[in-house]
Amino acid sequence: MASTAPSHTPAAGSAAPPRVLTVAGSDSGGGAGIQADLKAMLALGVHGMSVITAVTAQNSLGVQGYWELPAEAVRAQFRSVVDDIGVQAVKTGMLASVELVATVSELLAGVDAPVVVDPVGVSKHGDALLAAEAVATVRELLLPVATVATPNLHEVAQLTGVVVEEEKDLPAAAEAVLALGPRWALIKGGHLAGDAVDLLAGADGERHWYRAPRHDNRHTHGTGCTLASAVAAELAKGRTVEEAVGAAKEYVTGAIAAGFALGAGIGPVDHAWRTRG
């Protein structure tokens, strides 16, 4: 008897979903980096693709080591994807070294799609993921090609010298980041006391504030990667920057609330929170 294909099988020739490329490091524990990016992209209905810049040995307790890939390997991955498949948005994360920051900046300058730059400096556990000498290259080459830069407060201080201690300091932080060249700066205030508040600032003076209740959950590994990937996914779907950030904030807030214990340290956010029963 002939079998019948299940009703959920997509029709042959279905249109591809929007395509988003992440350029970042691999997290062997699956909570951050490339792994978090691809999980978030799948959850938000886009096709995720990757350029791996570094491999980390990482778990819930921290980063035990990392090994960056050669620039030619990063360049080859990028050209392979972009030249054949194309992209509707790009997100960058861990770039590790001066050479990789410079290489990726050059590649992004030739892409006609929104670029979300998460200027990763340290891990959730405080482990360095960017060489100290590469910070200047991020300032000079990477941020000027960003549509949206998404630094946390540590990264704001690292890049600009501006220290944010309370919510009223966020506009000054945004201005300092915008001065480095991105079209938009999303300053993440998650490390402040009180509600989780973020400020999106545009180079034209536009300002948007995003607030969410703070959840009593220490399992927040991967929040920065996830937020930046969610913004890129929403931009790829055609949302404006302010709409994309709002949708991404709502998704990440739910993922934090559903974060779960894993190993002996800090567990990950739950990228699949919307689909769990």
Q: List, by residue number, the catalytic residues.
A: 188, 220, 222-225
Half-sphere exposure for 220 (CA within 13 Å, toward CB): 18
The tokens of 268 are what?
């990950």
Give every CB contact of residue 90 below 8 A, 6+ residues apart in sequence: 20, 21, 22, 23, 108, 111, 113, 114, 115, 116, 232
Local structure of residue 133 (DSSP, 8 states): G
One-character DSSP codes across 146-164: -SEE--BHHHHHHHH-PPP
Residues in the chain: 277
The tokens of 125 are what?
């556990």
Cβ–Cβ contacts within 10 Å for residue 221, how many?
28
Nearest CA-CA partner of 174 in 142, 146, 207, 221: 207
Give every CB contact of residue 13 below 8 A, 6+ residues apart in sequence: none
User: What radius of gyration, in Å, describes the C-alpha atoms of the chain?
Assistant: 18
- The answer to whether the CB of 173 falls within 8 A of the CB of 164 is yes
**CA triple 147-273-20, angle to 5 deg:** 30
Alpha helices in 1-119 (DSSP H): 33-43, 71-84, 98-108
C-alpha–C-alpha distance, residues 257 and 252, integer Å? 9
C-alpha–C-alpha distance, residues 205 and 246, integer Å? 18
